[in-house]
Amino acid sequence: MRALLALLLAAASLTACSGDEPFRILAGSEVADLEPLLKDSGIEVEFTYTGTLDGAEQVARGDAGDYDAIWFSSNRYLSLIDGAREKLSTQTKIMNSPVVLGLKPAKAAELGWDGTPVSWSDIATAASAGRFTFGMTNPASSNSGFSALVGVAAALSNAGEALDAKTIAAVTPRLKEFFSAQKLTSGSSGWLADAYTARPDVDGLVNYESVLLGMREKLTLVYPSDGVVSADYPLTLLASSSRKERYDELTSWLRTPETQRRIMTATHRRPAVPGVRLAPEFGTASLVELPFPNRRSAADELIGAYLNQVRVPARAVFVLDTSGSMEGDRIDGLRTALATLTGADTSAYGTFSRFRNREQVTLLPFSDHTKGQQDYRIPADRPEAVLGQIKSYAEGLSASGGTAIYDALRAAYEQPVDAQHYSSIVLMTDGENTDGSEYLDFQLYHQALPAERKAVRTFVVLFGDSDVEEMRQIATLTGGAVFDARDGSLAEAFKEIRGYQ
């Protein structure tokens, strides 16, 4: 008996030890707002954030073994990837949020959409007539954009069943009309909401109901009568995890009526369990859920059609540091990163990141002077030849000379812009400005730019020994964002930026 007691004591102390190990979750940034709430669960949870598509492919490849669970806004795309289903164990839905349209109240009233039922077809008609503009995330990098695209396509296709290749081809012209009104894009829902605030010319957003309800400036929400696609936030145990009990504890805590009410109040998401009364902010509209594609080919076809045919094409200017300090691994990394965008990366995430049909790409390599400008127009079909040209040019890049960042950036802002393209600049540099004009000169220059060129955002990539402070200032000044490639690869940063272009 004494031996047994000793064993049990040993077991108890070991339990305490392994209890210290946090429950590790690979998550989408959409659920980051739940982190503070989870502190009250009594369970130590450690989040690692990644993009939806990137995360999905990690799981499917079997590279998520360091995690116990995943938590994205939806598992629907993930479950279409070959080999992904077997990697998942139990899935538990935690909350719900439909993707809908939010408009400035005055605009909603002007369109007569603040009381009567409105369909996606009505919305598309008004969009093609130029009666309103909106922002939406990129369907290839963010779940809210993908859900919106599926919803709009399903509704406009007038088909009652899940989308397939034939219906997608048929609905493409209608989709083009709808998306002609898109004036703002983004790789993530959160950044989209921030960028929108600084753009008085954009009338509204297509985003999660929860994001729209959480915005400081009040919006009128339009719930399309022909249906929506919702995020259901399934907390999903990975089959490789041995911590099912901890998972069960966490999900039961998340699904108690008390926690569900707190989630609803704090994050504007609808409860997933019956019996929790909906707050009045959610309105009374009955939401029809539209069918979601159940074939990988249909989902990819839809994203491909959006990028190559439907969206307002991008005009992307890459300002690339090829000064002497880039010699060696760094210039190699830059060559690889550019090749990635020409289709060398064949994963879904990589494929969707490539330069798209109809896109205009300008490469502006620089050292103490700009080293010649390369302009490419990707045709509407058969993009391979031009992509090949970009790739071979990238492979011939070499490093030498000083670093004149602001002269080069200024050259990028001198490029013409037009309303038929969505213009943006990527600035990659591995060091401090050593030649030519200074940041303050650029600031003055930028202030004096005409409105349409001033609106072009600069996405900054930190690399090597970048001057972090000054780079942040450029991003803030131009309404762009900072991407850090100092510890990772340039290719990853470039792929992420593609969601914003």
Q: Which residues bind another protein (CB under 8 A)?
A: 1, 3-4, 7-8, 10-11, 14-15, 17-18, 21, 66, 76, 79, 85, 90-91, 93, 96, 155, 158, 160-163, 225-227, 230, 232, 242, 270-275, 286-295, 297
Least separation, in Å, of the C-beta of 10 and another protein? 6
Least separation, in Å, of the C-beta of 79 and another protein? 7
CA–CA distance from 316 to each of 227, 263, 403 (Å)? 35, 40, 22
| Start-to-end C-alpha separation, the chain | 70
Nearer Cβ to another protein, position 288 or 468? 288
Least separation, in Å, of the C-beta of 7 and another protein? 5
The closest of 357, 352, 355, 356 to 140, measured between CA atoms, is 352
- Measured CA to CA, the distance from residue 232 to residue 99 in angstroms comes to 11
Q: Given 3-state DSSP classes, what are the helix, strand and coil percentages for the chain, each rounded to the nearest 5? A: 45, 20, 35
Nearer Cβ to another protein, position 10 or 380? 10
- Measured CA to CA, the distance from residue 455 to residue 425 in angstroms comes to 11
Residues paired with 135 in a beta bridge: 184, 205
Which DSSP state fits 96?
Answer: E
Least separation, in Å, of the C-beta of 286 and another protein? 4
Least separation, in Å, of the C-beta of 50 and another protein? 18
Nearer Cβ to another protein, position 3 or 385? 3
Nearer Cβ to another protein, position 178 or 459? 178
For 305-316, give one letter per residue: b (16+ CB within 10 A) or e: bbbbbbbbbbbb
Least separation, in Å, of the C-beta of 146 and another protein? 12
- Measured CA to CA, the distance from residue 364 to residue 430 in angstroms comes to 15
**Structural contact between residues 50 and 32, judged by C-beta atoms closer than 8 angstroms:** no
Pairing verdict, β 422-429 and 314-321: parallel
- Measured CA to CA, the distance from residue 492 to residue 471 in angstroms comes to 19
**Structural contact between residues 139 and 273, judged by C-beta atoms closer than 8 angstroms:** no
Nearer Cβ to another protein, position 3 or 440? 3
Nearer Cβ to another protein, position 242 or 346? 242
Nearer Cβ to another protein, position 17 or 419? 17
**Structural contact between residues 109 and 271, judged by C-beta atoms closer than 8 angstroms:** no
Least separation, in Å, of the C-beta of 231 and another protein? 13
Nearer Cβ to another protein, position 56 or 409? 56
Which DSSP state fits 234?
Answer: E
For 460, the 3-state DSSP assignment is: strand
Nearer Cβ to another protein, position 184 or 221? 221
- Measured CA to CA, the distance from residue 471 to residue 131 in angstroms comes to 37
Least separation, in Å, of the C-beta of 177 and another protein? 19
Nearer Cβ to another protein, position 230 or 403? 230
Nearer Cβ to another protein, position 17 or 448? 17
**Structural contact between residues 99 and 206, judged by C-beta atoms closer than 8 angstroms:** yes
**Which residues, other chains included, contact 444 with Cβ-Cβ below 8 Å and sequence gap of 6+?**
none
Nearer Cβ to another protein, position 305 or 408? 305
The closest of 416, 278, 398, 304 to 360, measured between CA atoms, is 416
- Measured CA to CA, the distance from residue 101 to residue 212 in angstroms comes to 8
Phi, psi (rounded to 5 degrees) for 471? -65, -40
- Measured CA to CA, the distance from residue 501 to residue 497 in angstroms comes to 7
Least separation, in Å, of the C-beta of 287 and another protein? 4
- Measured CA to CA, the distance from residue 154 to residue 485 in angstroms comes to 38
